[in-house]
Chains A and B, each alone.
Chain A
Amino acid sequence: MGRRAETIILPLELLRHLKPSEFNDSQEYHLWQRRQLKILEAGLLLHPSIPLDKSNSYAMRLREIIHASETKPIDTGKNSDTMRTLCNSVVSLSWRSANGTPTDVCHWADGFPLNIHIYISLLQSIFDFRDETLVLDEVDELVELIKKTWSALGINRPIHNLCFAWVLFQQYVLTSQVEPDLLYATHAMLSTEVANDAKKPDREAMYVKLLSSMLASMQGWAERRLLHYHDYFQRGDVFLIENLLPLALSASKILGEDVTITEGAGKDKGDTQIVDSSGDRVDHYIRASVKKAFAKVSISFCRLFA
């Protein structure tokens, strides 16, 4: 066809070209059609990258068609009025631009957070489905291919780096935390690429939002364990702290907590003291975890005096 990938509205093309006869039965077709329309709804109506005017007539028509498709499949034949209206609305909505100037990229899947969900799903294909703790040998080729979606999904390198770190971390958690290499790889990604990207001055709002929520999630997960390490780690897996702790520390560092200003020794002189916090955080983890471990063994005593 010779068209550039970023100008193809995939769900619309699929709706146009796949016929009900190609499915096992009408119900299967209906479900499939609903899914395509749901994607269009998510990308164009619910999470458009360019804010939508409430009175936009294309949006209203698209909404009606999607609503109608709930009860029975819409006719996607060549001569169908509904299909003509659908194409018209989808194309018009996709080719909008922020300031009215013509654009060479269509926007149907680059709105946040739909784009991130799609991109993360794509990135998950780097894992071997026979052993999900393994990254495929062809990871570099795969990532090169995945990068071709950047313009369609509105992804750039910082977002890619962040999502890549997230996918590694998520895979570690999803695969029951049996492969510490995944955690190690997450940390490697965070402490180098992501840490550098996060420092850049011209970060976009979406990136900052994504960065803080992903990092806070990782940090929270890691700290839930570190603040209870006596409980979470038994003799055999204590070494996991070695991978988990750096992750928590880099996440905190990027989140902007790397230097804490304390009013300690310098208080009298009226100035503040800057303390390197990774040591302080570890201090905090030890105290919290030891206190909890003590509370656990002293329960019988507390009951006696209650």
Chain B
Amino acid sequence: MSLMFILVCRLQIIETGSYKSTSLQVKDEASEALLQLAKEVEDLALRERESFSPILKKWNPIVASVAAVTLHQCYGAVLKQYIAGISTLNNETVAVLQIAGKLEKFLVQMLVEDSADCEDGGKTIVREMIPYEVDSVILKLMKQWFVERLDRAKDCLSRAKDSEVSFFNLFAEMKYSI
């Protein structure tokens, strides 16, 4: 995973400067917002666990799990929307996907700790957490990225070949006219 990240960063650096379109700026804002949102969600989860769950626990044994699941779903819905809008992999999108993965781990941990002692060990509630599968999203995007690069390389190659041919022809023509 970290190797993949470094690789992506390198590739991104090579490309810097070539992507300053308006659509990308919106995407960057979205990435920024999603990174910020992940932090807010973690804060909400902490506040829930520290302030509210100890009180609410008297009436429902798995209150922290319920909060964790709800937050996971809320962030998941926004993340899904974001992923649907990603066209290519870049620094920001990878950062967002990684943070989402971290947040997911945190919420799962919160659920596991909270529901360990309950009757079914949290089996029912954990089913409500549909995994974000950020790793597979990253892999998919990377694959797409490679295919795109390959296509472009092929394109360049064929264009080079064409121009070489036409250059040769031109040269031959010039020679002839001289």
Contacts and interface: CB of A to CB of B under 8 A. Distances in A.
A269 B74 CA distance: 33
A176 interface: no
Interface in A278-306: 278-279, 281-283, 285-287, 290-291, 293-295, 297-298, 300-301, 304-305
Given A238-B52, A286-B66, A294-B74, A305 B59 contact: no
A290 B70 contact: yes
A282 B74 CA distance: 19
Given A297-B40, A301-B78, A290 B48 contact: yes
9 contacts: A233-B51, A238-B52, A283-B60, A294-B74, A295-B74, A297-B44, A298-B37, A300-B33, A304-B26
A232 to B, nearest CB: 11
A83 interface: no
Contact of A286 (B34, B63, B75): B63
Contacts of A291: 70, 74
Contacts of B81: 305
A306 to B, nearest CB: 12
Contacts of B100: none
B29 A304 contact: yes
A229 B52 contact: yes
Query: 7 tightest A-B contacts by CB?
Result: A297-B40, A294-B74, A282-B60, A290-B70, A279-B60, A301-B33, A282-B59
Contacts of B34: 301
A290 B59 contact: no
Contacts of B59: 245, 249, 278-279, 281-282
A171 B40 CA distance: 37
Nearest to B53: A286
Nearest to B30: A304
B60 A298 contact: no
A235 B51 contact: yes
Given A241-B56, A301-B78, A294 B66 contact: no
Interface of B: 26, 29-30, 33-34, 36-37, 40-41, 44, 47-48, 51-52, 55-56, 58-61, 63, 66-67, 70-71, 74-75, 78, 81
Contacts of B52: 229-230, 233, 238, 241, 286
A161 B66 CA distance: 37
Contacts of B47: 230
B71 A242 contact: no
A305 B41 CA distance: 19
A221 interface: no
Task: Indicate the member of B26, B33, B58, B75 with the most A CB atoms within 10 Å.
Answer: B33
A286 B111 CA distance: 14
B30 A241 contact: no
A239 interface: yes
A230 B44 contact: yes
B155 to A, nearest CB: 33
Contacts of B55: 238-239, 241-242, 245
Interface string A66-101: 000000000000000000000000000000000000
A35 B52 CA distance: 51
A245 B29 CA distance: 41
B91 to A, nearest CB: 19
Given A235-B51, A282-B60, A293 B44 contact: yes
A290 B53 CA distance: 12
Contacts of B30: 301, 304-305
B73 to A, nearest CB: 9
Contacts of A241: 52, 55-56
